[in-house]
Structure 1
Amino acid sequence: MAQTNQIGIVTEQAQQLSDRLNILLANLQVFYINARGFHWNITGEKFFELHAKFEELYNDLLIKVDEVAERILTLGYTPTHSFTEYVQRSSIQEAINVSEGKQAVQLIVEGFQSLLLTERDILHLAGEANDEGTSALMSDYIRQQEKMIWMYGSYLK
């Protein structure tokens, strides 16, 4: 019989999930700091609208950062907690000096698309591990972020 962790997940599967969740954590952290930068630096006629939307976005991402880190801890592992590692592991690139609305929104759509790829991978692994906690978290994120892609994408049309 395979060894399990404190919540009954096979240790090897919990390690794989933790590794993938740390990649998600890196992506969320880089996406968060990008959204903060967009909020601070946005200019132009849509300033007020986008300034508020970017604040909504980074506040939501901050909650997700905490949820993912706590899920890693629940699985029995350590969340990555250095920006050096975040930048190295993230598939979302740092956005520097972006102040134009459409460019920022395009980067947000691409950020959500990147998150979805990672989250779907985690959802699949969580299903194989019978890890309902991680599955539920990823399902919630996927549903919300698919809608965000549609909404932000509509702005670009």
Structure 2
Amino acid sequence: MTSINIGIAENDRLEIAQGLKRLLADSYTLYLQTHNFHWNVTGKQFRELHVMFEEQYNALALAVDEVAERIRTLGVAAPGTYKAFAELSAIEEVEGVPSADEMIDILTRGHEQVVRTSRDVLKVAQDANDESSASLVSDRMREHEKTAWMLRAMRENG
């Protein structure tokens, strides 16, 4: 690839890209879990959860593309295999088909993990004055915080 001169030092670009790879892996793993739960949810809240999970996995599909393209913009190859995502992601795979309530809890923890990963990447991007990555990550963080809140609200009594 040709030289990249976008005002971010090479070491910083590589460190930001590595953080974005973790964000991409967490987001893609969460996408897969959400899509799986959309297909397999049952119970009294079936319709509501089926529709909610579809909205969430569609949003995640767009998000992973944005994150991957930012990694490429920084001059680094974006991971794109299950193996790479499994190695990079902090989100655990789910075995079997959990109950609807367990699905909500699992997805809540997944969105919270994406927020924590985002916070780590955000600090690196801000320290390197990479406003483009910081803005992207900040937007992702806000969306995952909101989604986690909505999922938690579904489990509250009252």
TM-score range, shorter chain: over 0.9
CA distance in 2: counterparts of 1:146 and 1:26, whole angstroms: 18
Secondary structure of the residue that 2:53 maps to in structure 1?
helix
CA distance in 2: counterparts of 1:105 and 1:21, whole angstroms: 26
Contact map agreement 1:41 1:97 (CA 8 A) in 2:
no
Q: Give 1:115-126 correspondences, 5 Å limit.
A: 115-126=114-125
Q: Which amino acid aligns with 2:155?
A: L
The match for 2:100 is: 101
Cα deviations by residue, 1:73-119 (Å, 9 ceiling, x for unpaired): 00111001111111122110112322421100101110011101110
User: Which stretch of the first structure deviates more once superposed, 62-71 or 135-144?
Assistant: 135-144
TM-score if structure 1 supplies the norm length?
Answer: 0.94
Structure 1 consecutive aligned stretches of length 4 or more whose deviation exceeds 2 Å: 96-99
Q: Give 1:30-109 correspondences, 5 Å limit.
A: 30-109=29-108
Aligned length: 154
CA distance in 2: counterparts of 1:96 and 1:36, whole angstroms: 14
Q: Which amino acid aligns with 2:116?
A: L
Secondary structure of the residue that 2:146 maps to in structure 1?
helix
CA distance in 1: counterparts of 2:105 and 2:7, whole angstroms: 41
Secondary structure of the residue that 2:78 maps to in structure 1?
coil
Q: Which amino acid aligns with 1:141?
A: R
CA distance in 2: counterparts of 1:97 and 1:58, whole angstroms: 19
Q: Which amino acid aligns with 1:21?
A: L
Give how far 1:133 is off.
0.4
User: Which stretch of the first structure deviates more once superposed, 5-14 or 59-68?
Assistant: 5-14
Give how far 1:5 is off.
3.2
Matched, 1:134 2:133: yes
Secondary structure of the residue that 2:59 maps to in structure 1?
helix
RMSD across aligned positions (CA): 1.2
Gaps of 5+ in 2: none
CA distance in 1: counterparts of 2:113 and 2:83, whole angstroms: 19
Matched, 1:5 2:4: yes
The match for 1:155 is: 154
Q: Percent identity?
A: 37
TM-score if structure 2 supplies the norm length?
Answer: 0.93
Distance 1:107 1:98, change over 3 A: same
CA distance in 2: counterparts of 1:9 and 1:51, whole angstroms: 43
User: Which stretch of the first structure deviates more once superposed, 142-151 or 71-80?
Assistant: 142-151
